[in-house]
Amino acid sequence: MSLPTPKSDNLTWQDTSVDRHMREELNRHRGAVLWFTGLSGSGKSTLANAVSARLHRNGVHTYVLDGDNVRHGLNRDLGFSPEDRVENIRRIGEVANLFADSGCIVTTAFISPYGRERRLARDIAGGCFIEVYTCPSLEVCEKRDPKGLYKKARAGEIPEFTGISAPYEEPEAAEISIDTGELDVDQSVDKVIAYLQEQGFLSP
């Protein structure tokens, strides 16, 4: 899957007087996209928010982009056809990249079950893309069932439900994997923060 070609030939990139590097110097940390992926109930939203809250308390600029919220606004014109799902992720990838470029550490929480759509988001964000795979077993997710969706899916009320009647392609090389069936929320956040520190994201 590749990025669409711009529709016009008459486009010139306009440089800005304040650039990413200057914003990162001011913020005293780098911008990044922490892309959480995993089954429903695996802990993406919980951790996207918990990581954001911990970073925020420590003076880091953060923003959370989460599933249905985006479909209320930017992507309200999109449904769940294969083309619309790709466009959904492409726009989220572009927005996440803009937030990272603005100097934020953005955490995204989308199941994003297909490797090709995650690669698209990675291509858009480049070197500041960090894939975080929340990987408890399906049994753990189904037992949690925080939205009651697995129950509905098992009853055949939700067609193409990831993990039950639609595939989830496991990431092959996620930067961080977290078995949230083993680690609690605080330990999981520690793991993400340790990665950000090791990779120099928390200093300019």
Ligand X SMILES: Nc1ncnc2c1ncn2[C@@H]1O[C@H](COP(=O)(O)OP(=O)(O)OP(=O)(O)O)[C@@H](O)[C@H]1O
Distances (CA, A) of 74 to 68, 84, 97: 11, 13, 15
147 binds, among Mg ion, ligand X, none (CB under 5 to 8 A by kind): ligand X
Q: Is residue 45 near Mg ion by the rule CB under 5 A?
A: yes
Least separation in angstroms between residue 92's CB and ligand X is 14
- Residue bearing tokens 């429903």: 40
Residue 97 and residue 100: Cα distance in Å, rounded? 5
Of residues 104-123, those binding Mg ion (CB under 5 A)? 109
Give the list of residues 6+ apart from residue 121 with CB closer than 8 angstroms, or none: 33, 35, 89, 90, 92, 93, 96, 108, 112, 129
Stretch 108-147: interaction string toward ligand X, x if CB under 6 A? -x-x--------------------------------x-xx
- For the CB of residue 179, give the shortest distance to ligand X in the complex, in Å: 8
Bridge partners of 145? Answer: none
Site string for ligand X, 1-40 (x = CB under 6 A): -------------------------------------x-x
Residues 144, 43: Cα–Cα separation, whole Å = 10
Which residue among 42, 52, 112, 188 is the active-site one?
112
Residue 173 in tokens: 């090389």
Asked whether 37 and 133 are in contact (CB, 8 A), the reply is yes
Interacting residues toward ligand X by CB under 6 A: 38, 40-47, 67, 109, 111, 144, 146-147, 180, 183-185, 188
Interacting residues toward Mg ion by CB under 5 A: 45, 109
